[in-house]
Amino acid sequence: MAGPYKKVKIAAGRGGWGGPLTIEPTDARPLIYCVTGGGIHPVAQRIADLTGGQVFDGFKSSAPFEKIAVAVIDCGGTARVGVYPMKKVKTVDVHATSPAGPLAQFITAELFVSGVKPDDVSQA
Amino acid sequence: MTAPARYRTEVLAVGSMIPEFREAGLLVFFAEQAPRELHDIVVLHRPSVADSAPEPGDVFELDGERFTITAVGSVVAENLLRLGHVSVKADGAVTAALPGDLNVSVGRLPLPVPGSTMRIVAADHPGDRAGQTEEPS
């Protein structure tokens, strides 16, 4: 077990939308789930470093939604941007997108923040 | 004259929500390594050619039906070549509303099935392309 865990606050970056989100992993929800391809994104790594959560590459294997403390995506606006909020998983998009597309109804400021860079993640 | 494909891929599986998306003029593609939780909302595929990114004026072809590409969002090149991921919208928009959008001419997108072929073919003017990307409409 990685704990004890710490809280972080994640604010929208320039041109971004939503948030701020407060993320605190738990033993039941330890994963900083990175769905960006090409390895762990620096934003996911920063969240893991500050919270003590466990980085997990969603392209290498899969994990149940209930284990995910936060999903980090690099979505251009339609697919990944909606799937995790639809499952009530807090979601961080490194691109500055706003709710759109067929899944937009699920994307709320309580669950979603975008345009996030590593500096937008701070200890809470 | 047939230009070589910039991108060519074979459809492996079609997510359960795709017929609904298609009614809205949208198809979301993702290569087969897409995480499981995305499978319902994407067309999974296995590219055999992933050489270069689309540009406005190119042709998007699905099972032989051709659509002219009207706009290319800012993250399409990276998403498509790295993840096989793109959201195709048949709305004829000349500016991509979202960075992941590939807009094509207005029409009814075919419903892909396993075995379908999707291609992106460069416009038939390879000589002109070097200095010009998008013609203002």
Put simply, the answer to whether B98 touches A103 (Cβ < 8 Å) is no
Out of A37, A80, A102, the one facing B26 most closely (by C-beta) is A102
Residue B136 vs residue A88, higher pLDDT: A88
What's the confidence (pLDDT) of residue A1? 52
Put simply, the answer to whether A79 touches B82 (Cβ < 8 Å) is no
Q: What is the pLDDT of residues B64-108, one digit of tens each?
A: 999 999 999 999 999 999 999 999 999 999 999 888 999 999 999
Please compute, for residue B133, the number of CA atoms within 13 A of its CA located in the half-sphere on the CB side. Answer: 7
Distances (CA, A) of B10 to A92, B32, B50, B126: 31, 10, 12, 25
φ, ψ of residue A44 in degrees (nearest 5): -65, -40
Give me the interface pTM, i.e. the ipTM: 0.78
* % pLDDT > 70, chain A: 98
Whole-structure pTM value: 0.84
- Residue among A72, A80, A81, A95 with most chain B CBs within 10 A, to mutate: A80
pLDDT at residue B124 is higher than 80:
no
Q: What is the pLDDT of residues A4-37, one digit of tens each?
A: 899 999 999 999 999 999 999 999 999 999 999 8
Would residue A75 show up in a list of annotated catalytic residues for this protein? Answer: yes
Neighboring chain B residues of A85 at a CB cutoff of 8 Å: none
Q: What is the mean pLDDT of chain A?
A: 93
CB atoms within 10 A of CB A30: 21
CA distance linking residue B54 with residue B134, whole number of Å: 11
Q: Nearest 10 degrees: CA dihedral of B82, B87, B89, B94?
A: -50
pLDDT at residue B40 is higher than 60:
yes
> What is the DSSP code string of B60-76?
EEETTEEEEEEEE-TTH
Segments in chain A forming alpha helices (H): 42-51, 80-86
- Residue among B23, B37, B88 with most chain A CBs within 10 A, to mutate: B37
Put simply, the answer to whether B42 touches A79 (Cβ < 8 Å) is yes
Confidence of residue B132 (pLDDT cuts 50, 70, 90): very low
* % pLDDT > 90, chain A: 76
pLDDT at residue A80 is higher than 60:
yes
- The β-bridge relationship of strands A54-57 and A21-23 is unpaired
